[in-house]
Every structure is written in C-alpha cells, then in structure tokens.
Structure 1
Amino acid sequence: MSDFDDIRPYNDDEVHSVLLRLLADNEFVDAIVRLKSPLMSRLAAGLARPLARRALHKELAGVTTVEGFQAKIENYLQKNIDETTTSLTTSGLELLDKSRPYLFISNHRDIAMDPAFVNWILFQNGFQTLRIAIGDNLLTKPFASDLMRLNKCFVVNRSATAPREKFKAAKQLSAYIHHSLVDDQANIWIAQREGRAKDSLDISNPAIISMLALNKPKADDFGDYMARLNIVPVSISYELDPCDTMKARELTLTAEQGAYQKAEHEDVRSIAQGITGQKNGVHVAFGQPFGADLTSVEDVANRLDRCIAARYVLHPTNCIAHEIIHGRAPAVNVGAHAKPYVPAEHSEAKKHFEARLRACPEAFREQFLNIYANPVQAQLDIGSLQSSADAS
C-alpha cells in the first residue's frame, strides 16, 4: 500500500471500477443532465436520468486508462474554450524544457479553469499534463472526488483541524509533491494561496512554501532543495471573470460584517459558473524556473509575487475599471502584444464593461471595480519600485 493512496490520483488499473461507480451514482448523472440539458432536467427528470446514463455508458465505453479519460475531457474542454473565450494566448513557454518536470505555482482566480487552462496549453504544446492540487473542501460529493482523481488531481487535506493532524497532512503533501517531481517526473500545479484571490490581489501564502520545504532533509541547503523542485511562476489573466458579481458580494459582506458564511455547495456553484461563464480573452504567462539563489520561505513567496504581477497580461476591462475609479487612463500596456492602453481604442469594450457594471447590484459595485482594477495598480506599483531602484 502506498503512503499516498488516500490523496493521489487514480491509476490506470482503477479506472474501470471508478467509472462503473460514477455511472451508478444518481447524483453524478443528474449533475450531467443539469449541465447539458437544464430544461430537460426540470421538465422531465424521470426520463432524463436513464437517457443520460445510457449516453454516458456509450461515451465511456472502452475507456480503461487515465489518458483515455483525459482524451474525453479534452473534447469537452475544447468546446468550452471555443464557447467561452474569444482568445487564449500564452507566453514564456520558450523558457521551459519539455523533458523536465516542473512545479507550476500560479495565481488563483477560478477554481477549475486556472489549472484547466495551464493544462490545456501545456498539452497543446507537447508537454505532459499536470497533476493538480485540489482542496478536499471542494470534494463534498463522492462523485466529485472520483472525477477529479480520474483527471490526475491529488487531494489537499484542508479539513484537518488539530495541529498534529494538520502537520501530518502537510508533511504527506510535501512528500507526495517531491515524489511526483523527482521519482515520477510528473508536472504539478498548485495555487500560490489557499482559495481564490477574489480581490485580484495575487499574494502568495508563505505557508504554501513552508509546506513544500517540509520534505527537505535537514542537511540539504534550502536554495538547492527549492531549485530541485523546478518552481515555475504562472500568471493567469481573464478579460471577464464569470464570478465577478459573486466575488464582489462576498468581499462587500465580509468588509461590512467582518466575516462571510458560504452557503452549502456555494463552491460547487462557483465552479459551474467559472466553467460555463464568458471569459473573453485569457492569457497564461509562464516565468523562468527558479534557481538556487533563494534563501528563505519569504524569498520564494516574494519572488513569486513579483513574477506573477510583472507577467500578468492586462485586458481592456482592467484598465477601464482603473480609469473609472481614478478618472484617468493608467499608463500601462494592455493585451498579449503589450500595446499602451489608449481609451479611444477601447470605446466598445468600455460600453460592454459599463453595462456589466450596471448589472451588478449597486451595493457591490465598488468591490466589482476593484476586482478588475487591482492588477493595474499592482503593475503601476512595480513600475514605481523599479524607477526608485534605477534612481538609487
């Protein structure tokens, strides 16, 4: 029995039995019906389930490996990208070697689509697909856990509460990530923090880096150990956030009440909205793998923050929101080709964004604007710091 059996993705020899379990799960079949045919799920639920189960049996017939399952997922992801984005661009892949495994650490805006877009771009460019970290708080349904682990996800134990239990879970996770990278030569994706940056302030949680270092032998140098993990910072940017109003509501209520209590299965609804909602332009930027010059957890976290902010590709929506807040156009570049932002060139985009803003309840609009404007301010701050460094 493996030390990682309770958290690792499923192996090929487990695929058949897991698929049979999924197909027998009424909640899973009903979820597929709601996703693919919401009208039928409401008007003819009794008929929809057997029809859907029969279709799923046919669709999954012959799937006996994880790769085969991911091939099915690829078809759906391609359709989703075509329907919910106007462009999917990337940069920085020339910095990476396809023969090496990497630990991709990205900012976190969307529960499902952040790793999906990174995975898609790597796959389309000849890299191996990712093993993806996912919190057990998102796996409240048995079928969700099965689906994720079939798709090369591994489980992060966030439900542990006792200090000893939390430390044991973190140490196991650290060992599994090291094992995946060094022994299995597998790519890994994790987010720079637990939970999405709902305010779009991409700040790494040093606890994530501390977790990675738990597996380091005492005699090993910290920088050398981090270098062996092949950490690559990744910056993901969305022109439109399908969950923007939901996030603005949560941020507003948290600011007013000091806390926010999620409704049951609220994360599941966020996942569905993030997958199906319109995103327009999406850019995924890969950075230079980190070397051995980092001497502490704080060094790694700070470099992640700088790299992610600097490579973040701004969209017109970001600049328009910043302009609405401050009354002037920000002096930043916009788009994958880094053209200076000129308001007159984005008048149509501004009309659409203002309509989207009006659709957001008035009480949440300040936070709605901040969600889009904060990445602009982050890049302006980087520019100010660089100017100060150059002048000194």
Structure 2
Amino acid sequence: MSKFDSIRPYYDSEVNEALISSLHHPMMKALMNFTFPEQDDEVWKEQLKRTHSIRDFQINFVYQSIQRVLEKSSEGLTTSGFEKLEPNTSYLFISNHRDIILDTSLLNVSLFDHGLVMTASAIGDNLVKKDFLLKLSKLNRNFLVQRGLSPRELLQSSKLMSEYMYHLLSKENRSVWIAQREGRTKDGNDATHQGVLKMVAMASDEKNCMDYFRKLKVVPVSISYEYDPTDALKMPQLMALANDEVYIKEKNEDFITLLSGIIGQKKRIHIHIGDVLEKEYDAIIAETNNSNKQIQALAQVIDDSILQSYKLWPTNYIAYDILNNSERFSSYYSDKEKQLFERRLELKIDAENEVLREGFLAMYANPVVNKMKYENASF
C-alpha cells in the first residue's frame, strides 16, 4: 500500500497522533470555537484526544462544523435522488464544482444522513500547502491531486490517482468524489472535461473502457447554490480571459477563496443525485468502438444529467432577464428578490465595468441557458 502514501488520507491508526499534534494550533481552536461556541476548550480537546478514526472525526466534528456553516451562512440544504443509492455500496460521484470545501462536505453530510457510504474526495495539493490544512484534509478523507507537474510527472501522477481511486472503490468499498473538471466552474457553464474521464480510465484492465466505468458505478451529481459565496472572487480570472491575458493568482488567493466559500452567504443550496449510469454504456458501445469518441459521449451523458437536474433559483432567472433585457422568467422571482440581487451586484463588483457586469450576470444566467437546450427541461 505504500505506493499511495504520497496522496492518500490518514489510516485510522494515524488519526489520533495527527489530532494530538494539532490540538494547540490556532486554526484548530478557531474551527472548534466556531463549531462549539458554548463549549469550554478543554471539552473538545478531550474528545479529540479520544478520537481514533476518520469516521469518528467526521461525524463528531466535521459534520457538526458543516451544520454550523449551514445555520450561519445559508437558508438550508435540500436534496433529491439519494433514494437511488444502495447502503453499503461504493459509487464514483462525478460532480459539478462550485466551492472548494463545501461541495464535498455537503455531499458527505447528505450521504451520512441517508445512511450511505461517505466519500474519499480529491483535493488539489495547491489548496493544502499549510501544514495544518494538509493534516485537516487527510483527517477528512481527502486524497491529493498533484498540481504544477511536468507532462511526464503528470502522466505518472494521473496513473497513481486512477489506481488509488479503483483501490478505494473495489477493495475498500469506499465511495469517491471527483469534480467533472479541474478547478471550480467560474462562468456557470458546468462541463465535464474529457481529461478527467481519461485519468479515471487509466487503471482499466478492460478491453473496452466503458465496461470499466460500468464497474465503478458512476453517479453524476449536481449542486446548486442560490448565491455563489465566491462569485466576486471569480471575476478577476474571467476578466483576464476576456482580455486574453494569463491569469496569475495572488498569494494566499486559494486560502481566501476557501474561507469565503465557507463563511459567505449562500441562501439556499440543493444537491441532486443523478441515476447510476448503466444502460448508457451499452448505447455508447453500440455507437462507436473508438475510445476517444466513447469518452466524449460519456462526458456528454454526465453533462446532460448535471445540467438537467441543476436546481435553478430566482437568482438564475433574474440574471438571465437582466442580461437579456427581458421579462421572460419574471414569474419565477419577486420584485424584492430582484432588488436584492441587483444590490448584490452593486456591492460585489464595479457595475460600470461592462465586462465585469456581464461576467457576473452570465455566471448566474448560464445554468438557465444550458437547461433551455433540453426539450424536457422543467421551468
């Protein structure tokens, strides 16, 4: 198992030592004081000292932290589709990606609430450069996606990650979460990158990679936030793209985004679990035996599921109507909701800057545009 040591989370046998070494870290204190505001520090410290497994840490601490985040910065989380999943069964969840920490944390809270297997989740190593954050991610069953590699190193790293994911799913009966693309969606267009699917398939020993995906029990997941807590933070990158410039992150930008996602206002949140992919593979195999075209077709199947089941909020309809100078969806929001959204727009960005304004609105409007492409879409 040592081959996975560079990317794997902690084994349960390593959990207690990692927790004890983090007991007096100021970020641990901040996290615990946020989660248990009425509790004396010694109480949570004693409980952490008695914690010897990732599951115990997740249920007794992380689960409670996420409940506090929902209470403080949202108007609640709703879910649909979880009844399709079987208990004690591992799945490969391929999800749209809006927030660094919350997407996976909210999925795991929902899986736990439904009595289902929680996930090991991919996280970019650029997000956990601080020693405490690395420990926390490994305590929360994250495995590392190595960034900034040479082409040769990237190939080796991708193969290792593919093998590790297969090991989790097939040998440990552990569900796995990965984003449908590298990095969060910045413009509201959720699209599965074929490179992600090719990476997943690298561990395949099947003649046809669709038969390999069938073994993995792939489930598309769609997560929708009424307000994206990091919407304004995504604007500089969109500006750079619009100006055909290379975007260079500020120092600590990832950490600021991570924190903003957790504490920023989200209003309502919805997670939808799509159908476990099965018959789709037969249709893809019947259509072509070219592996690249099969991967392309599978990406489209995942996109279709995510885009059609994305829950549209008043903010999405408002942005569409403002952007298109229309009232097409005015029955889906109130005047007050529109005023609040326009106020957010004024506060978050320089509305005089047309590129920024359009980018901000498009981020919210594009899910509507994407859903309109489907004849059976419900509005």
TM-score relative to the length of structure 1: 0.86
Q: 1:151 to 1:385 in 2, by over 3 A?
A: closer
Secondary structure class of the residue paired with 2:149: coil
Computed over aligned residues only, the root mean square deviation of the Cα atoms, in angstroms, reads: 2.2
Amino acid at match of 1:13: S
CA distance in 2, matches of 1:199, 1:11: 37
User: Do structure 1's residue 205 and structure 2's residue 197 form an aligned pair?
Assistant: no
Secondary structure class of the residue paired with 2:173: coil
- The correspondence of residues 4-83 of structure 1 with structure 2, limited to 5 A, is 4-23=4-23, 28-30=25-27, 32-33=29-30, 57-58=45-46, 60-70=48-58, 71-83=60-72
User: Shift of the alpha carbon at 1:138?
Assistant: 0.9
User: Do structure 1's residue 226 and structure 2's residue 213 form an aligned pair?
Assistant: yes
CA contact (8 A) 2:223 2:269 kept: yes
- The correspondence of residues 279-294 of structure 1 with structure 2, limited to 5 A, is 279-291=266-278, 292-293=281-282, 294=284
User: Do structure 1's residue 192 and structure 2's residue 180 form an aligned pair?
Assistant: yes
Q: Deviations over 1:26-60 (max 9, x none)?
A: xx4157549968xxxxxxxxxxxxxx986763452
CA contact (8 A) 2:307 2:367 kept: yes
Amino acid at match of 2:167: H
Match of 1:309 among 304, 307, 310: 307
Secondary structure class of the residue paired with 1:249: helix
Q: 1:13 to 1:77 in 2, by over 3 A?
A: same
1:376 aligns with 368
Number of positions where the alignment pairs a residue of Structure 1 with one of Structure 2: 357
CA contact (8 A) 1:248 1:365 kept: no
User: Shift of the alpha carbon at 1:16?
Assistant: 1.6
Amino acid at match of 1:174: S
CA distance in 1, matches of 2:328, 2:112: 35
2:2 aligns with 2
User: Shift of the alpha carbon at 1:254?
Assistant: 3.0
CA contact (8 A) 1:132 1:153 kept: yes
Match of 1:166 among 154, 170, 189: 154
Q: Any gaps of 5 or more consecutive residues in structure 1?
A: 38-51, 332-340, 387-392
Secondary structure class of the residue paired with 2:97: coil
Secondary structure class of the residue paired with 2:120: strand
Q: 1:250 to 1:31 in 2, by over 3 A?
A: farther
Q: Any gaps of 5 or more consecutive residues in structure 2?
A: 35-39, 286-293
CA distance in 2, matches of 1:380, 1:36: 45
- The correspondence of residues 122-141 of structure 1 with structure 2, limited to 5 A, is 122-141=111-130
Amino acid at match of 1:7: I
Q: 1:35 to 1:256 in 2, by over 3 A?
A: farther
User: Shift of the alpha carbon at 1:137?
Assistant: 1.2
Deviates more, 1:2-11 or 1:144-153: 2-11
CA distance in 1, matches of 2:47, 2:364: 40
1:326 aligns with 324
CA distance in 2, matches of 1:59, 1:100: 30
Secondary structure class of the residue paired with 2:374: helix
Amino acid at match of 1:5: D
CA distance in 2, matches of 1:349, 1:130: 36
Q: 1:131 to 1:281 in 2, by over 3 A?
A: same
CA distance in 1, matches of 2:322, 2:16: 54
2:291 aligns with none
Amino acid at match of 2:2: S
CA distance in 2, matches of 1:36, 1:326: 46
Amino acid at match of 2:181: R
User: Shift of the alpha carbon at 1:183?
Assistant: 0.8
- The correspondence of residues 344-359 of structure 1 with structure 2, limited to 5 A, is 345-359=333-347
User: Shift of the alpha carbon at 1:327?
Assistant: 2.0
User: Shift of the alpha carbon at 1:258?
Assistant: 1.6
